[in-house]
């Protein structure tokens, strides 16, 4: 058997998406090569795909038979939008459709997948969760930044920067004290607040920082800087969402591993 035949046989085993069921799946960071085989197979089985803004068109090309519904939220619109998305999943399932709810990265990492799964439980709709590669871990590896590294880091925090400065915020001062690396999702808009809280909490101003935009896509851009300068640099470089901010000494491994900026 060729590799392609073996992959095909793997993809055709396992559960099939049934009419009236919803699968909550992660599409990975963008490049279709980072799809799991399970999600690739699901793309070929769905009648309808409810996608979010981060799912790339290259991924959707794998589902030419499916109706595509856009349910994107960028930068956190009111939660009414989220309620509408959840309600539409339930309506499509009750119409007897095979529903694939497709999110960027992993559905359970800052993806509201947990809330959608809860609503499906409450509505009595059968569902499964299909993991995807979360953008941070993929982006770091492909940028030659080890997520953990003996002698440098013993833990990693994945944080959202979306609510920086609000009541619902992460305790940046406490995170600063761990001295372990932090990867911030949805943080670009609030980068200035975030870095200043980390420095206030004791992180050294010269801590290396990387910003990784549109990881694994043709628009990918990366630059590295220091905690004290990153906010100004990010603005000058005109980085846009989706982007990840990586803060910690692990970032310096990038040049150690031979990457030239």
Kindly state whether residue 32 participates in binding ligand SAH, applying the rule CB under 6 A: no
Kindly state whether residue 29 participates in binding ligand SAH, applying the rule CB under 6 A: yes
- Which of residues 63, 244, 251, 253 is near ligand SAH by CB under 6 A? 244
Task: Please state, in angstroms and rounded to a whole number, the distance separating the CA atoms of residues 113 and 105.
Answer: 11
How many C-beta neighbours within 10 Å does residue 173 have? 13
- Which of residues 214, 230, 248, 251 is near ligand SAH by CB under 6 A? 214
CB 160 to ligand SAH: min, Å:
7
Q: Which of 206, 216, 196, 213 is nearest to 248 (CA)?
A: 206
Question: Would you say 119 and 82 are in contact if contact means Cβ atoms under 8 Å apart?
Answer: no
**Closer of 43 and 109 to ligand SAH (Cβ):** 109
Window contacting ligand SAH (CB under 6 A); options: 42-50, 61-69, 117-125, 206-214: 206-214
Task: Please state, in angstroms and rounded to a whole number, the distance separating the CA atoms of residues 214 and 236.
Answer: 17
How many C-beta neighbours within 10 Å does residue 196 have? 16
**Closer of 191 and 213 to ligand SAH (Cβ):** 213
Q: Is 90 helix (H, G, I), strand (E, B) or coil?
A: helix
**Contact positions with ligand SAH (CB under 6 A) in 96-155:** 103-106, 109-111, 134-135, 139
Total residues contacting ligand SAH (rule CB under 6 A)? 25
Task: Please state, in angstroms and rounded to a whole number, the distance separating the CA atoms of residues 197 and 254.
Answer: 25
Kindly state whether residue 224 participates in binding ligand SAH, applying the rule CB under 6 A: no
Task: Decide if 77 is catalytic.
Answer: no
Q: Of residues 103, 106, 186, 213, which has the active-site annotation?
A: 186
Task: Name residues whose C-beta falls within 8 Å of residue 149's C-beta, 6 or more positions apart in sequence.
Answer: 250, 253
**Closer of 139 and 194 to ligand SAH (Cβ):** 139
Name beta bridge partners: 244. Answer: 185, 212
Structure-token pair, residue 258: 């031979």
Kindly state whether residue 159 participates in binding ligand SAH, applying the rule CB under 6 A: no
Kindly state whether residue 34 participates in binding ligand SAH, applying the rule CB under 6 A: no
Task: Decide if 73 is catalytic.
Answer: yes
How many C-beta neighbours within 10 Å does residue 217 have? 15
**Closer of 221 and 226 to ligand SAH (Cβ):** 221
Q: Which residues are catalytic?
A: 52, 73, 186
């Amino acid at each position: 058997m060729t590799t392609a035949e073996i992959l095909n046989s793997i993809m055709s085993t396992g559960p099939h998406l049934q009419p009236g069921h919803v699968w909550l799946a992660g599409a990975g960071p963008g490049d279709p090569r980072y799809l799991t085989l399970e999600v690739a197979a699901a793309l070929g089985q769905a009648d309808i795909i409810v996608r979010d803004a981060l799912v790339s068109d290259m991924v959707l090309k794998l589902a030419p038979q499916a109706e595509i519904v856009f349910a994107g939220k960028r930068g956190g619109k009111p939660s009414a939008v989220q309620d509408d998305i959840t309600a539409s999943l339930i309506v499509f399932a009750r119409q007897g459709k095979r529903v694939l709810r497709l999110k960027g990265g992993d559905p359970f990492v800052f993806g509201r997948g947990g809330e959608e799964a809860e609503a499906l439980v409450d509505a009595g709709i059968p569902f499964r969760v299909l993991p995807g590669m979360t953008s941070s871990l993929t982006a770091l590896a492909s940028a030659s930044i080890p997520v953990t590294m003996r002698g440098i880091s013993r833990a990693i925090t994945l944080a959202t920067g979306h609510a920086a400065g609000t009541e619902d915020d992460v305790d940046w001062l406490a995170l600063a004290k761990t001295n372990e690396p932090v990867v911030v999702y949805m943080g670009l808009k609030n980068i200035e607040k975030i870095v200043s809280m980390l420095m206030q909490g004791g992180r050294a101003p010269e801590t290396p920082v990387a910003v990784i935009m549109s990881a694994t896509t043709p628009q990918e851009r990366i630059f590295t800087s220091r905690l004290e300068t990153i906010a100004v640099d990010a603005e000058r470089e005109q980085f846009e969402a989706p982007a990840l901010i990586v803060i910690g000494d692990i970032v310096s491994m990038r040049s150690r591993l031979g990457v030239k900026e």
